Each structure stands twice: as structure tokens, then as C-alpha cells.
Amino acid sequence: MAGSNFGTLFHISTWGESHGAGLGVVIDGCPAGLSLSKDDIMPYMNRRKPGANDFTTSRKEADEIEILSGVFNGLTTGTPISMMVRNADQHSKDYDKIAGYYRPGHADYTFDEKYGFRDYRGGGRSSGRETLARVAAGAVAAKLLKEFGIEVLAYTHSIGDITLPKQVLDNKENITKEAVLNSSLFMPDKETTKKAEEYLYNIKKELNSSGGVVECIAKGLPTGLGEPVFDKLDAKLGQALFSLGAVKAVEIGSGFVASRSTGLSNNDEFILKDSKIAKATNHSGGVLGGISDGSTLVVRAAFKPTPSIAATQHTVNKNLEEIEINIEGRHDPIVVSRAVVVVEAMTALVLADLLLQNSVSRLDNLKKIYGKK
């Protein structure tokens, strides 16, 4: 299987299956000298792990990260950083029934067609549990970005048709990590969280599931991240977020709203602020011509409803018979709340990689390191 690698200079390779012995990641290209420990990574893992509230799978996993290489005396050594999490609470028998049929909305059919067989235990490599490896790597990327004053923060933008109020979204730069973490759904508004909780309780009673949107912002970005042609910042973000199994749409800045706007209303006029060039608005979401423009990065990922639902569905089995099914097991009625930190991690990975690449984009940058003393 190809395609388990991501990044150019800050490069990751993930491995493992939902019901295997464990999952992990190898990071290549992290600079030496970065302070790093398990304590830097576990807060990210805890935000993603199952069993945190009534709206996540009841699978109980501590998701304790083990750092196997690349760190010595609390500092990265510049060599590959290998990390893993051991699986502990697999109920593989819960999936025996699905071995002979294809679940609607899942990768069962396409996986079988591509490889000739599949690991049906929780989706194997296609499982959302694979994202824990990305989160571990993203925590390291976020720690590296903080060295340069760059902060990445994701939160739940909407669940179903329940969206954060306009006053919150219009002042997104004031959204704090504390407000995000204080919400059961990582939605930085108490009233909206309550409405979304009520909505999800009703969805669960109906044996159904819901989709939603995660928004991510990055503050403190320098200008210059991203390349002007194929490796645009927005193109890299699109690839990163579309690589998440349940993501069906990605927006930068105004996104689809821009298609219904005019040039006069959508253009961000330049102004002087504290004797520096800035923008009066941020419809571009911090990206112009595929390159970061120094303003806050704004990206959104739309997640489809969880396809594993207990309500009766129609499908086809391997004997080419049409059947009715009710999917059993432990499943999230919504993936959005657990996906918040995954979106944050993938965004951090993109930015860390492009930050390293940008360091060699100008001769004077190299002269600062290798010029004559």
C-alpha cells in the first residue's frame, strides 16, 4: 500500500490498523534541539481519544504515546522520531458480521475491489483510529511552530445546521484554547454547545448520525509560506485535510461565499498598520497566490455524517444478494468533535513543512547561516 507518507522536509510516515497491535508514526526532518517530551504530546492525544463523552465511541483506549527514538535528554536529536500507541480495547468479534457485506458510506467495497481482500475489523487502515498517528506528529509540528510564535487552533464551527454565532465567527482571532477545551464538543460558545448537545441526543435516539464543520486558524504566520504553482499553501492544506476519511469539502477564507461575491466586496484592500502593510479584511483567509500573506490563516473542513449507524440500511453482500442491515458495535454519532484536533494537527504539519522549505527560498537567508563571519 502506497500513500502513508506526507510532507517534504518535515516528513511523516504512519502505520498500523484499528485492531492490530498498535499504530504509530515516524517523523523525519524535525530539527535537532527542540524541547520535546511525552507531556507535549498527550494533551493532543487526549483531545482525540475515544470515550471522552456521550457523543464518542465507548471504546476505551488510553492512547498513551511512546517515544521510541529521536529524543535524548529532553531534546530532539535530528534523527527520525518514532512514536507509537498500543491498542488495548479491540472488540474484533463485533465486526465478524460485516465480513460478508459492504457497509453503506464505508471503504469496504472500494478496498475489496482494489486489494482483493480487506481487514474488516473496524476498517483496518481505513479506520478513523489511524488519525492518532497524525495527531502525535502534529503535536511535534505545533511545538516547532511555537518556537516562531505561530499558534494553530481548531474548533467546531458547526454541527448539523447549528453554527457558532456570527459575533464569534466575526471575531475568531479572539477565540481562545480555553474556550474550546471547556466545551464537550470543542465549540467555543456555551449556548451553541448546549443546542448541539440536544441535537445529538435526538440523533442518537433515532439511531442516526450527523455531520459538521471544523474551522482552524493559525496566528503569527510570516509571509512567504507556500509556492506559487503546484505547492500552494491552500493546495497543501487541501491535500492534508482531504486525506481525512470523512472530509468532503475544504474552504479557505470566504470559501464558497467568494463565488457569490463581487471583486469589490471580496478583495482585501491593503492598509498601513503600525507602519506595516496589512489588510483591511481577510476574505482570502491569509493566502494570496498560494502564499501566506501574514494575516490569520482560516481553513474549514466539512465532515460527512458517521456512516456506521444502527438504523436499518439497504446494501449488497459478497454473494450479490440485496440485504437489510443494522450495524452493531461502538461508533461515534458524530466524528467532528474528535476530528477537531486532527484538523489542527494536519494544519500544523503543513505549516511546519512549508516553514522549513521557505528557509531556503532566498539567498540572504542562506547567507545568515553560511555567510562569511
- Once rounded to an integer, what is the mean pLDDT over residues 34-53? 90
**Which of 52, 93, 45 shows the shortest CA–CA distance to 183?**
52
Q: Which residue has the higher pLDDT, 98 or 265?
A: 265
Annotated binding site for NADP(+), which residues? 48
pLDDT of residue 320: 93
- Once rounded to an integer, what is the mean pLDDT over residues 34-62? 82
Q: Of the segments 10-14, 84-88, 362-366, which one has the largest average pLDDT value?
A: 10-14
Summarised one tens digit per residue, pLDDT across range 166-201 is: 999 999 989 999 999 999 999 999 999 999 999 999
Summarised one tens digit per residue, pLDDT across range 103-112 is: 888 888 888 8
* CATH number of the CATH domain containing 100: 3.60.150.10
Structurally, the chain folds into a number of domains equal to 1
pLDDT of residue 92: 53
pLDDT of residue 123: 67
Annotated binding site for FMN, which residues? 125-127, 289, 304-308, 330
H helix or E strand, kind and range, residue 272: strand 270-273
Q: Which residues contact 53 (CB under 8 A, 6 or more apart)?
A: 184, 337
Q: Which residue has the higher pLDDT, 194 or 19?
A: 194
Give one word for 325, left, alpha or beta, with left for phi > 0 and alpha for psi -120 to 50: beta
- How many other C-beta atoms can be found within 10 angstroms of the C-beta atom of residue 266? 16
Give the three cell numbers for residue 187.
465549540
Quote the percentage of the chain above a pLDDT of 90.
74
Whole-structure pTM value: 0.93
Tell whether the model's pLDDT for residue 60 goes beyond 70: no
Tell whether the model's pLDDT for residue 90 goes beyond 80: no
Summarised one tens digit per residue, pLDDT across range 139-170 is: 999 999 999 999 999 999 999 999 999 999 99
Confidence of residue 37 (pLDDT cuts 50, 70, 90): very high
- Once rounded to an integer, what is the mean pLDDT over residues 337-350? 97
Cα separation, 24 vs 9, in Å, equals 19
Tell whether the model's pLDDT for residue 1 goes beyond 90: no
Summarised one tens digit per residue, pLDDT across range 273-329 is: 999 999 999 999 999 999 999 999 999 999 999 888 888 999 999 899 999 988 876
**Which of 170, 161, 220, 216 shows the shortest CA–CA distance to 192?**
161
Q: Of the segments 61-70, 112-121, 341-350, which one has the largest average pLDDT value?
A: 341-350
pLDDT of residue 330: 60
pLDDT of residue 289: 97
State which residues form the domain around 101: 5-370
Would you say 98 and 119 are in contact if contact means Cβ atoms under 8 Å apart?
no
Q: What's the helix, strand, coil split of the chain in %, to 5?
A: 35, 25, 40
**C-alpha dihedral, 78 to 80 to 83 to 84, nearest 10°:** -170
Q: Which residue has the higher pLDDT, 19 or 59?
A: 19
Summarised one tens digit per residue, pLDDT across range 211-240 is: 999 999 999 999 999 999 999 999 999 999
Annotated binding site, which residues? 48, 125-127, 289, 304-308, 330
Say if residue 194 is exposed, middle or buried (CB neighbours under 10 Å; 0-12, 13-18, 19+).
middle
DSSP 148: T
Would you say 207 and 316 are in contact if contact means Cβ atoms under 8 Å apart?
no
